[in-house]
Each structure stands twice: as structure tokens, then as C-alpha cells.
Structure 1
Amino acid sequence: MAVRGDVRAGVVDVHAHWPPRELPSLRPGFPLGGMSDRDGELYLGDRPLFFASTAMTGIDVVIADTVKAGLGARAVSAPPFALPAFAPSEADDSVPACDDRLEPAVSSSEGTLVGLGLVRVDDVAAARREMTRLTGTRGIAGVAVPPVVQGRSYGDGVLREVLAAAVDADPAVLVHPMLSPRPEWEDHYLVNLIGNPVETTTAVASVVLSGVLDELPDPRVRFVHGGGCAPALLGRWGHGWRSREDVRHGAGRPPAESFARLSFDTVTHDPEVLRLLAAHAAPERIVCGNDHPFDMAQPEPVRFLSDHGLDAGTLEANGRAFLGIRGPD
């Protein structure tokens, strides 16, 4: 799967969100409730998201923000609460409906936006069909998927098969957490501050420790939020791998070696964490992220990266390679 046609030059942000305005009626069972507009502000259930509805649903607003942020282009995917993870068997209508609305939205952006669609994550055949359908769709680079579905991640079961199907179809795959609620995360926005990094870390660990990369040596998959807690836990995982048979049972190589073959965005909010990620990940595997328009977005993403040692030209090349941007037709 590749994006053909003119895409604006400059750093590419692979992590931003745009849903169709019809998303509330297409919601696939998110437990915190549906998305709604209340006097111009977006709500998730009864919780305000603290930004104007148009910041997410207005394609012109997203385009303007992309240019203002100093970015060349931006990949947009549905917000996390639209990922079909909580009622995946009910997503036969919502997934293609969202994807069908994504194509004209990004095609109207004159090379500023590319799209990441949705797929079923409980049914390999359905996921494969949607990936195949998206192949060749103008402006669509790949898909966004959740890190955990019904207590399972990418080490085994259906999600591992979905990842294998993605290698065959060759879309860009963005693994994005979902604000999964837990009682101990009820206060202080911990569902995001802790929950999102933990979900991502779980997905990274499942790939690193399960031998996925032995079967799928170079999946075009990226994990957001700098890999969550994974860069800080690699030493612990490595110790476990050397010390315990049940840790190294599925993985034929040390965790740090497998980690260096994975890819990550840069939404870390901390220069020291960014440096830690860069110390463990391969330079060509790091791409710019922003998380527009959420309040947890990385402010001034290009400046943040250039101020802390990441080269804009490399980031542009990495982002274009991840998204399969091949240049003009």
C-alpha cells in the first residue's frame, strides 16, 4: 500500500486525528460513551474533551494547524475511541463507513494530509478484505489499530494474525491506545497519563518477547507516545530474558535487539525520554508525532525535535518511508 501523488515537502507527522462528523452514529461500543457536539465543544460521553469540535472534525482546521505547526504533511486517523476494540463484531458497518469518508477528506487537502483507515481486529478475513479494499485508494497510507483487544495483544491469537495480514497487504500500521477505563485510573486523568503508555508498552512487549519479528522480520508498524514505558523497561526485560526460560521461550533474540527493529513516534513530552528512545531505537525508525488536536498533543513538534538533536531531513524521510509516500504519479 503506497500513497502516490504530490505530498507536501517537510517533516511528516504520523500521529494526528480526524473523524467524520457522522462518527457518533458510527461509534463501535466505546465504554465511556459516544462522541457528541455540545455548543461547539466535543464531549466523550459526559466528559468534555476541552477543544472545539471543529479542531477535530473540520478538515480545513486540521490542514491549517498542520501548516502552522511547521509540518509538511500529516497522517490522520480516527480518534482512539473510534477504534473497533470494545465491540469489534459490530464494526462491519462503522469501519467501511469511516474509511469511505476518509478518502475524500484527505484527497481535498492538496497533499497536506494522508489517511490511516480502520479495520476489524477480531476477524482476520475481514481485516484482510478491508486492507485490500484500501490498497490503491487515493491518499490512504494504511490503518490504525488498538494495542490490546479483549485482553490480548500482538503476541498470539487474532491480533498476531492481523499483523501478519498487514505484512502481506503492506499498509502502514499505527498502533494507538484507547483510553481503556480501569477503576484505579478514575481520577486525575490517569486513564490517559498512565493508561495510554501502559497499553502501548503491552503491545511493544508482546511483539518483542513473542517472536513475532522472527516470523515477520520487517513489519511496517509504529507505536505512538515514544513506545510508552518500553524504553525504560528494556533493561528489565533483558534481565528477565537472560534469567527465565518462560521469558525467552518465544523470542530468539534479546529484547533490546528486537526493540531496535521496531518504530516509534516522538510524543514523549520530555527531552530526556526522547534521548532514551533515540538511544534504543534505530535512527531510521523514529518519526515525528503530535497527537493533534488532543490536550496531550506535543506542542511545536518540529521545534521540540530539532531543539533536541533530531534532524528534520531524516524525520521527513522516515515519515515518508513509513507512510509509503512514493512521490508524484
Structure 2
Amino acid sequence: MPRASAPRTRASAPTVDVHAHVLLPEIEALVEGRPGLSGARALDARRNGPAALAVSGPMVRERFPRLTDTAVRLAAMDAQGVDVQLVSPSPSHYHYWADEPTAEKVYRLAHEATAAHCAAAPDRLLGLGLVPLQHPRLAVEALDHALAQGLLGVEISSHAPGRELSDPAYEPFWSRAAETGALLFLHPFGCTLDERLDQWYLSNTVGQPTENAVALSHLIFSGVLDRHPGLKVIAAHGGGYLPTHIGRSDHAWSARPDAGAGCAHLPSSYLKRLYFDSLVHDPHVLRELVRVAGADRVLLGSDFPFDMGTEDPVGALRAARLTDSDFHAVRGGNAAALIGKD
């Protein structure tokens, strides 16, 4: 009788990057000329400002091969020491302005194209799809379509026009995500502070962590995580400002009846029900994230291959000087357990 293999330890788990993107030109070709696109582009330009747009365009063009060519991606992963990437569409593909017929075409094409990209190296690339949050009634079927394509879940933004993640219209989506065990990657795109952040790339440096904090607060304070404890939510950018300032949320929950009316427990306790990527750009902040959320709730993330990411995610993790067991858990053990990739 053959001897059973020993279980893989976290130290021997693959290095898994849960925050990596793919660019899908076919989606942009699909939406070109559709009503609403010009307005969305104008809003994006207004929020970012001309200086940021002048830098972002050439940056994306220079990184286009890594965003679209699987062979180039794999070579870059090898150079970084990354074994597996969880690949999500560029958030620029959300297109939350789109009407229902267009939105359905967008998510179906995104799922098929992302699945095809990952299929070129199925042992190393795992994919996520998209959900048109602007049309809550399409959310469940979009999630089901993503899973049917072999994707592990979907990527969502911090809000949709006129809707927060606490909106009751999303309840069927949360229920289905919990039921299926789908991964939900929370990655903001665009900050509603608008022109206040249109200089010095504040739209990203301040806007992204702000949007993360607001979105997670809606999930916590509204009771979404109480009603759906099985949700697997991964927050990009280390969850933004919320984990390091969660004490203020705890104080409000304890001191004010309006703040504590929607959720059953201290806000800080919900951090241990969420997952966070490690992309915080500061080893001291990463140590604090591990402390407040738990070493089992932090996953390696690079934002591959954009300039606001890191070219050396393992090195950035090592700089936090975690214990050996915590280092290997974040490097890949946690993600391997979460996605079943050994």
C-alpha cells in the first residue's frame, strides 16, 4: 500500500500573490462609443487631474506586455519569486456606467478572456471575474457565470453610483457568494472626493485607502458580515486606513447608539473575518495589520504590474520582520489554504 504523502506545511507552501491584474483590450473595444462612456472618462479625468493622466498613460503602455502576455507575466513572476498569481481584471474594466445589456456583455467577456489568459498556465494563474454593481439584480448571475468559467470569484469596487456595499439590494449577492465560497476581491476604482484629490496623485495615494476604509465600514456597521459570516472578502491595499484606525470605530460603536445599531460586535472583531493583502508600502504598517487582523488573515499582494505596486512583494514582506511562521503564512500559506492551491 502506498504511503500517504505528508501534509504540506506553510513554510513549503507556494508563494501566492493575490493582487495582480490583467488588461483586456477586448472589453474597451466592446464599450467604445457606448452612451455613458464619455461621461465616465470625463469624471475619471476630473478626479485624477491632467498631471496624473499624463503619467498614467505611458506607464500602462510600458507595462502592457506584462498585463496581456502570459509568457511575459510568468517570466516576471519567476523574477519576483512568485509561484502563483490570483489575476483580476484591471479595475478600469468595471464600467459601472453601463446599462444592463452592455454590463452583461462586459462581465461575460471579462470572464471568458480572464479564464483564457489563466488557462495558458493553469498551475500558476488563477482568475477572478467582475460583477456589475450598478445593476444588483445581475450580480448573482454574474458571479455564477464567473464560477462556471473556472474563476474563483469576482473583483468588486468600493461602491457603485448611488449605492454603497451596505445597500440591501446586494443581499442576494452576499448570500450566493457565501454559499459558493467565492472569493470577493475588494479593489476601489475612483474616489468620490473628486477634485479635492486632483493634484499630486492624491486620487490614488489618499483616495484608494479612503475608499477601502469606507467600503469595509459599510460591510461591518450594516451587519453584512453578521448576516453572511461565510463571506471570503479580500481587501486590497491592506484595507486602507481602517485597520490602523479601527480604535475610533470601536469607540463610536461603544459610545453612540446610532453607530452601534447595525452590527452585533465591536468593529475590530470583524477584521478577523476579513482578509487583507500586504500592499501597504510600510513595514511598520504591515506589522500592525498582522497584529490587529491576525497573521492568518493577511495575504501577499503586489498590484502587479502597476507602478503603485511593488516589484518585490516577498522582499517587502520580509522587511516587516515577522516571525518565521507568520512570514510563511502571509507569503503563501494563508492563500494556499484559502484557494486550495498546494
TM-score tier, shorter chain, comes to 0.7 to 0.9
Query: Partner of 2:216 in structure 1?
Result: 204
> Which deviates the most, 80-89 or 243-252?
80-89
The residue matched to 1:246 in structure 2 has which SS? coil
The structure-2 alpha-carbon separation of the partners of 1:197 and 1:249, relative to structure 1 and needing over 3 Å to count, comes to same
Alignment of 1:109 with 2:121, yes or no, is: yes
Alignment partners' CA distance in 1, 2:19 and 2:177 = 19
What TM-score, normalized to structure 1? 0.86
Alignment partners' CA distance in 2, 1:213 and 1:23 = 32
Shift, 1:13, TM fit? 0.5
Query: Partner of 2:163 in structure 1?
Result: 152
Alignment of 1:209-288 (within 5 A): 209-288=221-300
What is the number of equivalent residue pairs in this alignment? 311
Alignment partners' CA distance in 2, 1:134 and 1:184 = 36
Query: Partner of 2:175 in structure 1?
Result: 164
Q: Give structure 2 stretches of 5+ with no counterpart.
A: 1-11, 45-51
Q: Tell me, yes or no, if the aligned pair for 1:80 and 1:179 is still in contact at 8 Å.
A: no
Q: Tell me, yes or no, if the aligned pair for 2:140 and 2:172 is still in contact at 8 Å.
A: no
Query: Partner of 2:26 in structure 1?
Result: 22
Shift, 1:88, TM fit? 5.7
Query: Partner of 2:340 in structure 1?
Result: 325
Please provide the CA RMSD for this pair: 2.5
What TM-score, normalized to structure 2? 0.83
Alignment of 1:134 with 2:143, yes or no, is: no
Relative to its length, the structure with more strand (as a share) is 1
Alignment partners' CA distance in 2, 1:236 and 1:222 = 22
Alignment partners' CA distance in 1, 2:275 and 2:13 = 22
Alignment of 1:74 with 2:85, yes or no, is: yes
Query: Partner of 2:133 in structure 1?
Result: 121
Q: Tell me, yes or no, if the aligned pair for 1:153 and 1:202 is still in contact at 8 Å.
A: no
Shift, 1:326, TM fit? 5.2
The structure-2 alpha-carbon separation of the partners of 1:101 and 1:279, relative to structure 1 and needing over 3 Å to count, comes to same
Q: Give structure 1 stretches of 5+ with no counterpart.
A: 1-7, 36-42
Identity of aligned pairs, percent?
27
Q: Tell me, yes or no, if the aligned pair for 1:122 and 1:159 is still in contact at 8 Å.
A: no
Shift, 1:255, TM fit? 0.7
The structure-2 alpha-carbon separation of the partners of 1:257 and 1:122, relative to structure 1 and needing over 3 Å to count, comes to same
Relative to its length, the structure with more helix (as a share) is 2
Query: Partner of 1:48 in structure 2?
Result: 57
